[in-house]
Structure 1
């Protein structure tokens, strides 16, 4: 007689829409609490009991809501210490985009194309502001980064750290912190995906490195048209490679 096969373990039942909606509304209430009380990253939140009483919800709803907000970096839960306002970083965006990009070979290239397009739009969009701020100035720190990138490229070496430092330094001078964080986040996605594709070549590296110098020179000369052209040249080697695939 064949052995009796044990039934497969039952999967967890999906949460009801009512429970999901309750968690969402509680999460929104906690965000409103943070705003109403002028809390900043690192500030402590009330304990679960106080939040339950203040928001008029159950402890399970508060816990679910806090976990959801922690995933978005809005809340930081420290075991044994309580909950605090999170850093509000764009880490969730980076993780989601990077995973989407790595999900499939075809997806790799399409998502990377889109990331490069967005980065180029952000760079060119700030051309006027950067040229106004940097016109007539000297930027030895950024120039040193350009020289480092060119030196590495000419030896066939990548220069990701100097590249990111250059863009971050340039955007810091523009004074738009939201764009600066967006570019930093998109760069991190870029860096997670590109090494898996084998897209870099010597000529492309050199052209990209030198384009940074053209961007800096244009900004310091106050020439926004030249800056936009340099930005386009900066992304051209990677875009050409992606479009050839």
Structure 2
């Protein structure tokens, strides 16, 4: 069997070991020697597999301490999406529009559900973030971290961690590409007004209004996207 295939086989077996033992982030894995024996595979194949799994956050190697189940974060997905979009954008393809439209479809579709479930405490958090945006806008620009926190807080009441992580991954990918392209031509006060309208619609429990406010927000982003 080719060396690459052996590494892929070892990766699959280590993933299965994690599943079989019901391990989670931070749990220790067997040592490299123990894995070789458990998997009946060579040290080179196991070592290459561990390096590959570390790259995608499935495992974490803590030198001097051991090997553990990783964070299982979506950071590799973010990096992959952002790099793909940047490459295609520079080739004259509408990759930024495609990425933005995917975010828009997800958030506009979910926001109507949120309108019926968002608790008062979360609405207060969103109001606080809008006020922070307004202060930042007065200083020249809305901070990306504030915008990110707003979009995360929008969907917290659903209690769907995967949904929150996926939405945040697409937010981060879009932000990464726009930072790379120096896209800083937003009107910060208009951004604040758009976010405030989303919160007002949620306070009214009006899902259709919230979805329309979200679409208008993305219309603003769409108009600012740089040409290839």
Matched, 1:41 2:32: no
**Cα distance in 2 between the residues matched to 1:172 and 1:108:** 37
How many Å apart are 1:139 and its aligned residue? Answer: 2.0
Match for 1:65 among 41, 49, 53? Answer: 49
CA drift of 1:136 comes to 7.1
- Where structure 2 has 5 or more consecutive residues not aligned to the other structure, the ranges are none
Give the CA deviation at 1:181.
0.8
Structure 1 residues not aligned, in runs of 5+: 1-16
User: 1:222 pairs with 205, 213, 221, which one?
Assistant: 205
User: 1:127 Cα shift?
Assistant: 2.1
The 4+ residue runs of structure 1 with deviation greater than 4 A are 135-138
- The size of the alignment, in residue pairs, is 228
Q: Assess, with a 3 A threshold, how the Cα gap between structure 1 residues 169 and 42 changes in structure 2: closer, same or farther.
A: same
CA distance in 2, matches of 1:107, 1:231: 30
Q: What's the TM-score, normalizing by structure 2?
A: 0.89
* Higher radius of gyration, 1 or 2: 1
* In structure 2, distance between residues paired with 1:61 and 1:131: 51
Matched residues in 2 for 1:137 and 1:38: separation? 35
The more displaced of 123-132 and 57-66 is 123-132
CA RMSD in angstroms comes to: 2.4
- C-alpha distance in structure 1 between counterparts of 2:191 and 2:158, whole Å: 22
Of 109, 125, 130, 1:146 maps to 130
* 1:128-143 equivalences in 2 (<5 Å): 128-134=112-118, 139-143=123-127
* Correspondence for 1:208: 191
Which whole-Å CA distance do the structure 1 matches of 2:66 and 2:121 have between them?
Answer: 48
TM-score, scaled relative to structure 1? 0.83
Distance 2:76 2:109 in 1: 25
